[in-house]
Structure 1
Amino acid sequence: MAQKTSKYQRGAWTSQSGFILAALGSAVGLGNIWRFPGVAYQNGGGAFLLPYLIALLTAGVVILLLDYAIGHRFRGSAPLALRRAAGRPGETLGWFQVMINVIIAIYYTAVIAWTSMFFIFSFKQNWESGASTQEFFLFDYLQLDTENQLTFDLVPAVVIPMVVFWVLVLAVLALGVAKGVQKANSITIPLLFVSFLALVIGALLQPGAVDGLNAFFTPDFSQLGKPQIWVAAYGQIFFSLSVAFGIMITYSSYQKRRANMASSGLVVAFGNSSFELLAGVGVFAALGYLAHTQGVAVGDLEGLTGPMLAFATFPAIVSALPLSWLFGTLFFGSLLLAGFTSLLSILEVVLAGFIDKFGLSRGAATWGVGLPMAVVSVLLIGTTTGLITLDTLDFFSNQMGIVASAIVTVVLVIWVNRRGGELAGHLSAISTFKVGKIWQVFVGILAPLVIGYMLVQVIISTVSDGYEGYEGWYLGVFGWGTLALMLIASIVLTLLPWNTPVRGFKAWPPIPGAKPADEIANAAAFDPSAGKES
């Protein structure tokens, strides 16, 4: 029977540099700038860099390469590639990863909206109109309702930029992989690095900057014996590299057959970590200046991590600096660029899954799937309790959903389907250096043990202590309930038939002892060049 051809060609990067820039755009996000400096400071300062480096090499790089190998060898979105690698359970896992991205996109757009408004505020330091920068952010801007955990009272100053960025990001995605995602990253990522480097240099020239750097880098080696510092290091590496929730599987599936995937993985991993270190230097140099102006130690400052660092502490720093409008626009402009490129990758995972499964056109998938998500996003996060909902969704999707996804990926792909040797052989065959037994030990044994320990600790803590003092019914709906809804949706989507099933997919290059891929695929996603160089 003649093979059916696809109704369209799957997206593809036009060059190796295009893929690397897109992968960096996904990895370098808001968490690099506001999460890493605080995590490092709270976990031993300079001493934290040792477990951080170990975590990068033993978990970050190896899980990143696992995602690369799955996506590149099995040529599909997360549901399709994992279906080919691990059968029907793999597809369910792939849809769970898609659902993680749905949840993240729903709240991530709000943070980008906040950032865009603070970029505008930077020109006149509007935050100085509040009793404090923290009061301005929480109550003047977000209009936070402290008496309720859930309202549907919309905040226009949040909703309007949210709508603008939903339309903008969907318009870019509708253009496709090369003309949309790649072109956007090729512009924003160089601009991000230049603008943030300028910010760092400016911060280093301010009085008190050295005190901030001392607070950031001074090692407290007594912390190394505490399990928490190692969990924090692995957690930071794991989440900042965009691994185990479908992004790198999807992005690598758009690479050419003979692309050098292992080298690309090293570039992305070390590029991401280099930016995190740069962010730490810049942020703590600025905090040192703020402490200098207030006559206190850096450690006595409040709001040294998370959104409060970005939207409360840093505006206070900006107001105290000379040329404050310039520092403000550089900081919030950098945040905006980092967030936008990450949001592109998050939504690309969602669109790719629906395109592959149901044979939708790019435009139909973008607007048909994206617009309902935008409506939910505005109604949940654009409200007076949006910050609380965002915090809860972020905790459960990241601290539990992504970690669980990583463990199940290893179990299904490496343990149950025994594809470790095949994937290592695939990376070795197309890359400039060999990926062998050591990688298989790290990805199959060490990484899941460490990540599993993290997951168990988080679950025990959340079950026994709750989260942030939120009421049980609220966590049941927006925390545990969200995880349950994601799992149910994943199972339902797996049970739905693929559009125009075809047979004949062949993973390339041939690897001795490799198992056949699951042949159920989507005609629209079927790669007719299988076995050839594309």
Structure 2
Amino acid sequence: MVEKTQWNSQLSFLFAMIGAAVGLGNIWRFSYVVYSNGGGTFFIPYLIAIAILGIPFLILEYGIGYNFKDSFSNILKRINPKLEFVSWVLLLFVFTVLIYYIVILGWDLIYLSSSFTFSWGNDVALYFVKNVGGSSNLSNLSSFIIPTTIGAIIIWVIVWFISHRDLNDGIGKISKILIPSLFIIMIGIVLYALTLPGANIGIQTLLQPDWSKLTDINIWLAAFSQILFSLSMGQAIALTYASYLPENSKLIDNVLLVVFANSSFEIFTAFGIFSILGFMSFSSGTPMVQLVSEGTGLIFVVFPMIFNIMGAMGHILAPLLFLAILFAGITSAVGIFEPMVKSTEDKFNWSRKKTVTVLSIIGCIFSLIFTTGISSYLVGVVDGFVNEFGILFLIAIQCIIFTWIFNVDSLIPVINENSRFKVGSLWKFIIKYVLPCFLIGMWLVGIYSLFTDVDSFEAIVYIVIMVLVLLFSGILTKINAD
């Protein structure tokens, strides 16, 4: 029998949960979402999304994990044996996220090593295409981008090293080191960024309110999507981490602390990001609208351009930024990995070390597909499908399972028992009626945008992912089936 493990302190759990929530999206996505969705106006739907989506659903996940103290696959199997298949579908979708997420961290590792000498040169866009992310030219699929391949393998080794150890010696210890370090680095970057000439241009651009946007459904969808993915909701991460909590844990208090830390980090970081973009606009005369982008374009193209004109300070800020991204990414990666690790460990009755090693080898092999000459293009295609089609739909399904099939009323005393804050009929109404409807609505909108103008290559990728996920979910469900 696999020995039950527990966090050795509330602090270990909190840092691990904050680490799982605070990731790449907080650094490179949030500021763009604010800017492109009404500026300061965006914070109204953002705060509402936290109140009716983020906090209620995380309380549900914490409560389920803490109540059952079991792996995600076993929990769904205990609720209804027929639901085990659903659990493996979600777990495999989340594992797919890890497979390409680690490749993105491999890109960051390349830029971290390049940031000391600025070896990306003056044509930073060309550097990214040639040495890191490749292009959308499918003829490059047959060749590997060697630095990215090496970077991904190194990140897998790091994730394996952290995850194969005992829960507290691995994830617990590294989270208590990396999360405070990440926050200290980002505080330093942001405070310096605020002193740059032109910083006020960036901040005004970020916060400029557009009140007419409040009646636009897209700003509300953007806010709810940001909360959904920023907090890594519904991916069995919070549920799995909560299953390791000892008795007498304050579940709701922990939820509020994690949500506050996550939102504070991404809002604070947005001020730094736009202060630096404002500096670039001021120094080069480039309009802000030409500089603002999200994701890889912002971090791996725009920022190296800015560091190039910063002088000596650029040589300090660049390594710090890419180190911060690495720290945020690694703590998120081990969090994304954990649900698959725990469920596989329980399924096969393996040791933690064996489970992590086997899954790391499998994951690393699949990651190599994303290190070919179409690396960034393939990551974008798979990321859109997995999140908009797979995970979003499965979050809605979980909401229905945990509130309609499972007796959620029995969970309320467990959640409230040691918490300073309490939940009751309003919370139950939100998770039972409001969230499933809203999540399914978001999924339908996402499906429409995903499948509009889809090309043949993207369609093939979607089909391959679905076939593999359903096939292996069926196999894993059948193994050791009663």
Aligned twin of 1:325: 315
1:149 to 1:225, Cα distance in 2 relative to 1, 3 A: farther
Aligned twin of 1:529: none
Of Structure 1 and Structure 2, the greater helix share is in 2
Looking at structure 2, the residues matched to 373 and 294 of structure 1 have their Cα atoms a distance apart, in angstroms, of 43
Looking at structure 2, the residues matched to 89 and 318 of structure 1 have their Cα atoms a distance apart, in angstroms, of 54
Looking at structure 2, the residues matched to 76 and 436 of structure 1 have their Cα atoms a distance apart, in angstroms, of 25
Give the letter for the 2:38 counterpart: G
Deviations 1:380-415 (A, max 9, x none): 111111212111111111122121111101112212
Alignment of 1:49-448 (within 5 A): 49-84=43-78, 86-129=79-122, 132-139=123-130, 141-142=131-132, 144-148=134-138, 151-301=141-291, 303-322=292-311, 323-378=313-368, 380-417=369-406, 419-448=407-436
Say whether the 8 Å CA contact 2:16–2:175 is kept in structure 1.
yes
Looking at structure 2, the residues matched to 211 and 288 of structure 1 have their Cα atoms a distance apart, in angstroms, of 5
Say whether the 8 Å CA contact 1:88–1:494 is kept in structure 2.
no
SS at match of 1:171: helix
Identity of aligned residues (%): 30
Say whether the 8 Å CA contact 1:78–1:353 is kept in structure 2.
yes
Looking at structure 2, the residues matched to 426 and 465 of structure 1 have their Cα atoms a distance apart, in angstroms, of 48
Aligned twin of 1:450: 438
Looking at structure 2, the residues matched to 425 and 94 of structure 1 have their Cα atoms a distance apart, in angstroms, of 26
Aligned twin of 1:490: 473
Q: CA deviation at 1:294?
A: 1.4
1:48 to 1:477, Cα distance in 2 relative to 1, 3 A: same
Looking at structure 2, the residues matched to 149 and 361 of structure 1 have their Cα atoms a distance apart, in angstroms, of 42
TM-score by length of 2: 0.97
SS at match of 2:480: coil
Structure whose CA Rg is larger: 1
Looking at structure 2, the residues matched to 26 and 222 of structure 1 have their Cα atoms a distance apart, in angstroms, of 35
Q: CA deviation at 1:65?
A: 1.1
Looking at structure 1, the residues matched to 13 and 297 of structure 2 have their Cα atoms a distance apart, in angstroms, of 33
Q: Mean Cα displacement is larger for which, 192-201 or 453-462?
A: 453-462
Aligned twin of 1:464: 452
Say whether the 8 Å CA contact 2:85–2:477 is kept in structure 1.
yes
Looking at structure 2, the residues matched to 192 and 369 of structure 1 have their Cα atoms a distance apart, in angstroms, of 27
Give the letter for the 1:133 counterpart: V
Q: CA deviation at 1:317?
A: 1.5
Give the letter for the 1:53 counterpart: L
1:151 to 1:124, Cα distance in 2 relative to 1, 3 A: same
Q: CA deviation at 1:142?
A: 2.5
Say whether the 8 Å CA contact 1:68–1:249 is kept in structure 2.
yes
Give the letter for the 1:48 counterpart: F
Q: CA deviation at 1:83?
A: 2.1
Say whether the 8 Å CA contact 1:397–1:483 is kept in structure 2.
no
Deviations 1:333-375 (A, max 9, x none): 1000000110111111111110011100111111112112111
Q: CA deviation at 1:107?
A: 0.4
Q: CA deviation at 1:143?
A: 6.3
Looking at structure 2, the residues matched to 373 and 359 of structure 1 have their Cα atoms a distance apart, in angstroms, of 20
Aligned twin of 1:523: none
Say whether the 8 Å CA contact 1:22–1:185 is kept in structure 2.
yes
Q: CA deviation at 1:145?
A: 4.2
Q: CA deviation at 1:421?
A: 1.3
Aligned twin of 2:24: 30
Give the letter for the 2:109 counterpart: S
Looking at structure 1, the residues matched to 11 and 73 of structure 2 have their Cα atoms a distance apart, in angstroms, of 26
Looking at structure 2, the residues matched to 149 and 200 of structure 1 have their Cα atoms a distance apart, in angstroms, of 41
Say whether the 8 Å CA contact 2:137–2:374 is kept in structure 1.
no
TM-score by length of 1: 0.87
Q: CA deviation at 1:233?
A: 0.3
Give the letter for the 2:114 counterpart: F
Q: CA deviation at 1:185?
A: 0.4
Q: CA deviation at 1:177?
A: 0.8
Q: Mean Cα displacement is larger for which, 90-99 or 16-25?
A: 90-99
Looking at structure 2, the residues matched to 146 and 377 of structure 1 have their Cα atoms a distance apart, in angstroms, of 18
Deviations 1:405-432 (A, max 9, x none): 1110111221233x22122222012322
1:146 to 1:358, Cα distance in 2 relative to 1, 3 A: closer
SS at match of 2:80: helix
Q: CA deviation at 1:101?
A: 2.1
Q: Mean Cα displacement is larger for which, 267-276 or 477-486?
A: 477-486
Runs of 4+ aligned structure 1 residues displaced above 3 Å come to: none
1:180 to 1:216, Cα distance in 2 relative to 1, 3 A: same
Q: CA deviation at 1:285?
A: 0.6
SS at match of 1:127: coil
1:145 to 1:227, Cα distance in 2 relative to 1, 3 A: closer
1:252 to 1:44, Cα distance in 2 relative to 1, 3 A: same
Give the letter for the 1:439 counterpart: W
- The runs of 5 or more residues in structure 1 that have no matched partner are 1-5, 502-534
Q: CA deviation at 1:492?
A: 2.6
Looking at structure 1, the residues matched to 58 and 327 of structure 2 have their Cα atoms a distance apart, in angstroms, of 23
Deviations 1:59-102 (A, max 9, x none): 01111111111111111121112222x21243222212210221
Q: CA deviation at 1:150?
A: 6.6
1:241 to 1:125, Cα distance in 2 relative to 1, 3 A: same
Say whether the 8 Å CA contact 2:7–2:168 is kept in structure 1.
yes
Q: Mean Cα displacement is larger for which, 454-463 or 258-267?
A: 454-463
Deviations 1:19-64 (A, max 9, x none): 0000000000001000111111110011001101100110011111
Deviations 1:418-449 (A, max 9, x none): x2212222201232221111111111111222
Give the letter for the 2:105 counterpart: I
- The runs of 5 or more residues in structure 2 that have no matched partner are none
SS at match of 2:120: helix
Looking at structure 2, the residues matched to 105 and 403 of structure 1 have their Cα atoms a distance apart, in angstroms, of 16
1:149 to 1:265, Cα distance in 2 relative to 1, 3 A: farther
Deviations 1:501-530 (A, max 9, x none): 8xxxxxxxxxxxxxxxxxxxxxxxxxxxxx
